[in-house]
Amino acid sequence: MEKQPLSDREIEILQLVGQGKSNKEIAGLLFISVNTVKVHLGNIFGKIGVTSRMEATLYAIEQGIIKSPSGSSGEVEVLVPEPLRPSEPEQTPLQAFLRRYWLGLALLSLALLIGLSFALAATPIFQPQTATPDPVLSALMAQRWQIKAPVSEDVAGAAVVSAGGRLYAIGGSSALGSSNRVDIYDPEQDAWSAGAQKPLPVADISAALLDGKIFVPGGRLTSGELTNALEVYDPQSDTWERKADLPYPVSAYALGVGGGSLYLFGGRDGNQVLNSVLRYDPRADAWTKAGSLPGAREAMASALVGDTFYVFGGTNGRKALDSVWSTALVGELTWRVEGKTPFKCARCSGAALNDFIFAVSDNTIWQFNPKDGSWLSDAGMPVKNPRTDQSLAGYGNALFILGGKDADGALSAELIRYQAIYTLIIPFLTNP
């Protein structure tokens, strides 16, 4: 049976699948619903005769819609596809089997190579090797860390959000106290520009993207007092507006987005560490209580994978925590304990990328796999002194780490790009 040609939209979605994008990420990039993405995927699978994202990616590579990674960049290259030719004669079963067999073998070899490269990087107990290093492995390892253009001001704990192909760094702690700066980074140009300053300078904050706007609640003022203000930034118009105040002043919280609502978890109200959860409805411009955390927690890392929100690290006001909690941001919040982190950090940052969760602490990148609860580490960050209170955000196929402060309190303006080659170079193996 001849395969049916794909539409332009279906080709676009297939390319994004080949980059390891989830249905939710594809929907956001194309400004369509998740259900629409699922419908398109069903049509794609039916037209090309596959049953999984992996098979679809293999087909896309065979047809030249995407290109299997080459060289040492660690990126999946997307190509402009040639028109599909449904009139071409169908291969014999033997021909089809042999082609898929050799392609699968090649991809498996590549996967093993990348896995080995990460194992060499991530395992600190390995001793220096005396043998001549493999040039391919050396090139891959050299590419994982890159120093990018620094931000214009030293900063720690800035809230960093990815939106519209840019990274927005908001507030944080500067040499003069709490900051009101908005610094905008263009990853393609490796250049920073200034956005409209936030009306209230704040530190110990988080930010989240909802309905195309960046929400920044609460925070700590330069005076040390906390605020209950909710300020919202519009990247399109480069303007700020004030929305409904929180029920109480709060800082050092975590933020998540689910079901069209903004969730605020824990934090500190100036007197104590909190276990409360608040929900903000942008349509009603109102805050309501939405349950509670399993325990009081502040300054924690967090990340959203699909509809599931994860928190880890931080403190309860007395000690650093290592427990990992998760809940679906739909309906009533029901918390699960997902194990423990292999590290403890009072001020670490988290981000999701390719259905994995990443955390940065001192000079180490940690990767958490929600499917099996495993952790991997890479302690090769190119910094002179380990830092805390760094900001972490995912963009494309990489992570960006901004600023932070060392043990002496010295702030940094550095921006570091990290390529997670072991998950991203063959995304369809890790994001079925």
On whether both 256 and 375 belong to a single domain, the answer is yes
Segment among 5-9, 71-75, 295-299, 375-379 with least mean pLDDT: 71-75
Classify residue 138: in a domain, yes or no: no
On whether both 157 and 12 belong to a single domain, the answer is no
Residues with Cβ within 8 Å of residue 163, at least 6 apart in sequence: 209, 212, 214, 235
Q: What is the dihedral of CA 115, 118, 119, 125, to 10 degrees?
A: 180
Say if residue 27's pLDDT is above 80. yes
Q: Which helix (H) or strand (E) holds 194?
A: strand 191-194
Q: For residue 363, what are its two tokens?
A: 């000079």
The predicted pLDDT at position 60 comes to 83
Classify residue 100: in a domain, yes or no: no
Which CATH number does the domain housing residue 354 bear?
2.120.10.80
On whether both 417 and 318 belong to a single domain, the answer is yes
On whether both 320 and 176 belong to a single domain, the answer is yes
Classify residue 24: in a domain, yes or no: yes
On whether both 301 and 412 belong to a single domain, the answer is yes
Count the neighbouring beta carbons within 10 Å of the beta carbon of residue 95.
10
- Asked which of 72, 90, 108 is the last residue of a domain, the reply is 90
On whether both 232 and 381 belong to a single domain, the answer is yes
Instruction: Return the closest-CA partner of residue 327 out of 275, 251, 249.
Output: 275
On whether both 237 and 332 belong to a single domain, the answer is yes
What does each C-alpha distance from 164 to 157, 208, 212, 234 come to in angstroms?
A: 22, 13, 9, 11
| Residue 270, domain extent | 145-429
Segment among 126-140, 254-268, 335-349 with least mean pLDDT: 126-140
The pLDDT of 46-50, averaged and rounded, is 84
The identity of residue 241, as a single letter, is E
CA 106 to chain centre: 29
The pLDDT of 202-207, averaged and rounded, is 98
What counts of helices (H) and strands (E) characterise the chain? 7, 28
On whether both 215 and 74 belong to a single domain, the answer is no
Residue positions counted in the chain: 432
The predicted pLDDT at position 285 comes to 98
Greater pLDDT, 214 or 38 = 214
Counted domains in the chain: 2
Classify residue 132: in a domain, yes or no: no
Exposure string for 82-93, b = 16+ CB within 10 A, e = fewer: eebeeeeeeeee
Helices (H), 306-415: none
What does each C-alpha distance from 419 to 76, 289, 313 come to in angstroms?
A: 12, 39, 23
pLDDT, tens only, 307-332: 999 999 999 999 999 999 999 998 88
The identity of residue 417, as a single letter, is R
The pLDDT of 401-430, averaged and rounded, is 75
Predicted confidence band of residue 112 (pLDDT cuts 50, 70, 90):
low
Q: For residue 130, what are its two tokens?
A: 């005396």
Q: CA neighbours within 13 Å on the CB side: how many for 44?
A: 25
Helices (H), 4-75: 8-18, 23-30, 34-48, 53-63
Exposure string for 136-164, b = 16+ CB within 10 A, e = fewer: ebeebbebbbeebeebebbbbbbbbbbbe
The pLDDT of 16-44, averaged and rounded, is 86
Classify residue 182: in a domain, yes or no: yes
- Asked which of 75, 90, 105 is the last residue of a domain, the reply is 90
Instruction: Return the closest-CA partner of residue 113 out of 325, 429, 326.
Output: 429
Greater pLDDT, 295 or 422 = 295
The predicted pLDDT at position 69 comes to 44
Classify residue 153: in a domain, yes or no: yes
The pLDDT of 94-122, averaged and rounded, is 51
The identity of residue 200, as a single letter, is L
Whole-angstrom distance, CA of residue 217 vs CA of residue 89: 60
On whether both 367 and 244 belong to a single domain, the answer is yes
The predicted pLDDT at position 129 comes to 36
On whether both 199 and 285 belong to a single domain, the answer is yes
Which CATH number does the domain housing residue 48 bear?
1.10.10.10
The predicted pLDDT at position 165 comes to 93
Classify residue 275: in a domain, yes or no: yes
Whole-angstrom distance, CA of residue 153 vs CA of residue 157: 13
Q: What percent of the chain has pLDDT over 90?
A: 56
State pTM to two decimals. 0.69
What is the β-pairing status of strands 66-67 and 77-78? antiparallel
Classify residue 353: in a domain, yes or no: yes
